[in-house]
Amino acid sequence: MIGDGNGWVRDPDGSRFWGRFGAAGLLVCTEDPRAVLLQHRALWSHQGGTWSVPGGARDSHESASDAALREAHEEAGLAADDLELFSEVVTARSVAGWTYTTVLARVAGRPALWPNAESAALEWVPVDRVTDLPLHPAFAAAWPTLRPLLAH
């Protein structure tokens, strides 16, 4: 059961999406100054070289929040106890029913980060500088919906 979400889902047009049971990622923000944690995806990963949130495939037994917290711990070293979750938004959906859920969280301060091999870098990026980066296409499409939610 653990790790059973790894794999591709294909739409009828051949598009493929990572995560047999969908996928989730964690958008973590700080308060002062307002910044978000972004991951520079390793070149070998799907759409590598772009910036997005830590995230990945959901396992069959996981909620979107569970998967996002697990991925953020694996890819950035964030501890769930340090985070306050405050929203979930389905930010991508495929014809085949696959979904990507972005889970939003707040963190006090800027905890130390511990990147794994999926991360070329991890950075706290000021909210008004996010679009200056080469974003993962799906994250770029979701950012206009997500950004206003960070103000609450």
Q: Taking Cα atoms as reference points, which of 75, 79, 82, 78 lies closest to residue 115?
A: 75
Report the percentage of the chain scoring pLDDT > 90. 79
Return mean pLDDT, the chain: 92
Paired tokens of 92: 């991508």
Q: What is the pTM of this model?
A: 0.92
Beta-strand pair 119-126/55-57: unpaired
Residues 47-62 have a mean pLDDT of: 92
DSSP secondary structure string, 79-111? -GGGEEEEEEEEEEE-TTS-EEEEEEEEESS--
Question: 8-151 — its CATH code?
Answer: 3.90.79.10
Listed by start position, the domains of the chain span: 8-151
pLDDT tens for each residue of 80-114: 999 999 999 999 999 999 999 999 999 988 888 98
